[in-house]
Structure 1
């Protein structure tokens, strides 16, 4: 697709159009709306071509009129699959279809991302950054540049999303038939949202690397975004692990369902592809199971850690991994602890990305991370489920609001606690950093003096290490007192005995003993000895 777009870039500017009043310096780039329209049209063309080819293979493998009469029916089916890839629903006789494979969204997302990268290069968006910045503090200049870059990213996203959504509306009109009728409103909204996200992300990536993309956001928003992404990733990983374990334990039932369908070789490959496309839906259902509310496979059913109640399920081999109806073993309740683990990890990330100067603010931001994670989980739950016609299968998948509330509370509480503890440790480490920096020059100077003294002969070159650890005044408050070993000589006891032998039981009031001399066992710390204050070294015995 990028090769086609590069050929369009080399086309004459007079054919592709050019805004009036553009100087000769701008001949090397197109206007942003023109580049966005070209990228949107190329994305739709390539995506529809790929899905039409895949649909044609399925029509050849099963020529029973399933996909419509002739090639027009094949194209309508491919167009409906393209709309379903953007999660646009369909109306059918007696109900609607909203349970669409989320894995199919990967194809248009990748095509839109590549097209948006080409659009950013073709319009040369780096030259559109404002050259004039406020002549204030560097922080204000950085904020002004960040706001300008965010505006640029939003403009690029709209330039790609607007024509993409309009073309999708035309496809929705063409894809209508007597059985399935796409919802035009859903098609416009889903195409615009996906194209805007892909275009904004690709444009931000063009401005700078991934770290620079994150710096476009304010500090607190960046911390919440990273914390929410980490918590969501941990929950999805837990859901994927649960699905793999369930498929492994019930692999016989999955294989039995595959044998009942008897799809053949080509049909088997298409069935395997369909299950892979629905794998993300099933992983989100497992996330809802881990969070507690569980999910439903039809009206009146429930699959949750508290119990399982099932009826007749659709004949999809992947659903053979569902547990049997009845009570769940008690050890399965342990999966409820996984959201708390995700919250603990997210809280650490939030505190490290943006430490709070106050102790009480960090738990609050951790709880906000849980709330945003709950909103994301609820959105994923809404996208992963939906009706399959009317009647009993009108409710399939998890409840969005229940998943959102459960994840917000579980992740929020754990993230608040871990963020508070991590922030406290970071603040204490920063408080001790000046003391460590002040002690470093003292240690270096002492080592230099010792080396110089050993060279001139004032000290032994191979001096024996002192017992224990000698502490200076800068680290005396942070290091433990050395422990006296049994093989050390107690010099304090001998000095005390000698002092007691020299002293008399009743000393005079003026500080002199009976022999008229000054007492040696009394040290007056208030005497400065002519301006020099006398300090006692409590660890002098360690250096003797």
Structure 2
């Protein structure tokens, strides 16, 4: 896709381009034009890829699973493309909202690449403010950050607006007698995903990922880092829980796969579909270990407190569900994982805070828990949804229950840990005595002891390229200087008498009888007669 972008960039530049400032003869397109071209090529490449996959499935199973002709196959590919953006459909008797989150990787990757091309084609790197020199004021740094955020937001809108409009056309093409795409969800999902990918790609042009994080102020940056840590810990625990459940129920999963008998091509497509639903299952595992659990239809519940099941869809991966009944006390220990995530998040928030504040540290920790709960609720809403009518109208976790439980569990633990870490930092800073100033003679004596003169060059203490006019001075540890702590209890040591003959070429400036001689040239005393 990048090669196609480069070919298009080199084509009608004389019509759509505009001259750039300076001596550069290469023209650049306006940002909205670059965003429109990037959106069109992203949607075209994505639909082409899904059409190819759908066509392979139609050839392997020509019994009407994907339609009766090539036009129906293309319409089915458009429906899959809309589902990849988490846009649901209305069917007779209900709706379909339980969509695979793994399929979102395809449009997200294409949009990210398109955003990078758009930023390069529109010269957004030149429009972003340059790096500030060292010692710049804080107001100037904040103004630079705001200017960068404005450019990033403009780039995201330039990609998202035409992308959403083209998605509306795809929704009209995907419409048939059985499935009716929700146009509002289509526009909103495409707009949000394209804006996020375009903004991220444009921010990436500023520099490495660490520079992107610095776009946020210090306190919100610590809050975002703590939220990310808590979510990663809980999602990682959910992934481990899913893998353990699959390993424990592998026999049931294999029996369901043999019962379906999909064939070779059908088996590959079935395995691919279950792999695309793996992110949904990971979020279900996160909801399970946070307490509320999830459901497979109305009247069912899979939670640490107990399992209540009915008839489930014939999907092999659902064979890993636990047996109905009460769970063992050992399995209920997973409820401690959200508190562990909260403790880790509170430590991160307290360590990344710019200055320790004893009163507000627990509040920032609880704010991190609130942000984690909102994020977990949003993920739970995306991972679930209806799968038809009747009892399958509710599948997956409840968004508000997951959000509330995660907010309380992570927020309380993060508030306590952030307060303790902040208190310990302030307490240690108050109890730690200031480090005494080490005497300069001790430091210099250790440094000069490690210096080994080169056997090839004459050793000169001022410049190694000069002639050997004076050997390297020996610095002794018993010399005293202005940093030596002399007092009534510590007498000043006597300076050892020098056995070397006095030199006539050095003027003692402490003696006013000879006057003061100031050498502007440091080597003037070598040439002074």
Regarding TM over 0.5, the answer is yes
CA separation in 2, counterparts of 1:321 and 1:48? 33
Is residue 286 of structure 1 aligned with residue 298 of structure 2? no
CA separation in 2, counterparts of 1:443 and 1:311? 83
Q: Which residue of 1 aligns with 2:12?
A: 12
CA separation in 2, counterparts of 1:279 and 1:48? 23
Secondary structure (helix, strand or coil) at the match of 2:28 reads coil
Gaps of 5+ in 1: 460-472, 475-531, 537-544
Is residue 258 of structure 1 aligned with residue 257 of structure 2? yes
Give, in angstroms, the shift of residue 66 of structure 1: 1.6
Instruction: Give the 3 Å change call, closer, same or farther, for CA 426–67 of structure 1 in structure 2.
Output: same
> Radius of gyration: which is bigger?
1
Preserved CA contact (<8 Å) 1:205 1:213:
yes
CA separation in 2, counterparts of 1:378 and 1:346? 18
Q: Which residue of 1 aligns with 2:40?
A: 41
Give, in angstroms, the shift of residue 345 of structure 1: 1.0
CA separation in 2, counterparts of 1:264 and 1:457? 87
If each structure's helix is expressed as a fraction of its own residues, which one has the higher value? 1
| 1:51-90 correspondence runs (5 A) | 51-90=50-89
Q: Which residue of 2 aligns with 1:511?
A: none
Give, in angstroms, the shift of residue 28 of structure 1: 2.8
RMSD: 3.0
Instruction: Give the 3 Å change call, closer, same or farther, for CA 203–430 of structure 1 in structure 2.
Output: farther
Gaps of 5+ in 2: 450-473, 479-483, 492-529
Give, in angstroms, the shift of residue 332 of structure 1: 1.0
CA separation in 2, counterparts of 1:456 and 1:50? 75
Instruction: Give the 3 Å change call, closer, same or farther, for CA 10–256 of structure 1 in structure 2.
Output: same
CA separation in 2, counterparts of 1:158 and 1:246? 42
Please identify, of 96-105 and 438-447, the stretch whose mean Cα deviation from structure 2 is larger: 438-447
CA separation in 1, counterparts of 2:28 and 2:427? 53
Q: Which residue of 2 aligns with 1:444?
A: 442
**How many correspondences in the alignment?**
461
Q: Which residue of 2 aligns with 1:2?
A: 2
Give, in angstroms, the shift of residue 440 of structure 1: 3.9
| 1:22-41 correspondence runs (5 A) | 27-41=26-40
* CA offsets 1:16-52 (integer angstroms, 9 cap, x no match): x246999986853210001101110010011001100
* CA offsets 1:395-414 (integer angstroms, 9 cap, x no match): 10100000001001111111
CA separation in 1, counterparts of 2:279 and 2:428? 42
Preserved CA contact (<8 Å) 2:442 2:477:
no
Instruction: Give the 3 Å change call, closer, same or farther, for CA 60–348 of structure 1 in structure 2.
Output: same
Give, in angstroms, the shift of residue 420 of structure 1: 1.7
Secondary structure (helix, strand or coil) at the match of 2:307 reads strand
Q: Which residue of 2 aligns with 1:483?
A: none
Preserved CA contact (<8 Å) 2:366 2:414:
yes
* CA offsets 1:313-369 (integer angstroms, 9 cap, x no match): 001111100001111111111000000111111111111111443212111111100
Instruction: Give the 3 Å change call, closer, same or farther, for CA 425–355 of structure 1 in structure 2.
Output: farther
CA separation in 2, counterparts of 1:163 and 1:28? 23
CA separation in 1, counterparts of 2:17 and 2:432? 60
Instruction: Give the 3 Å change call, closer, same or farther, for CA 132–61 of structure 1 in structure 2.
Output: closer
Give, in angstroms, the shift of residue 377 of structure 1: 0.2
* CA offsets 1:424-460 (integer angstroms, 9 cap, x no match): 3333455577713x344489369779x9xxx99999x
* CA offsets 1:372-409 (integer angstroms, 9 cap, x no match): 00000000000000001110100101000000010011
Q: Which residue of 2 aligns with 1:271?
A: 270
Secondary structure (helix, strand or coil) at the match of 1:338 reads helix
Preserved CA contact (<8 Å) 1:355 1:426:
no
| Superposition TM-score, scaled by structure 1 size | 0.80
Instruction: Give the 3 Å change call, closer, same or farther, for CA 457–306 of structure 1 in structure 2.
Output: closer
Q: Which residue of 2 aligns with 1:527?
A: none
| 1:119-138 correspondence runs (5 A) | 119-129=118-128, 138=137
Secondary structure (helix, strand or coil) at the match of 1:63 reads coil
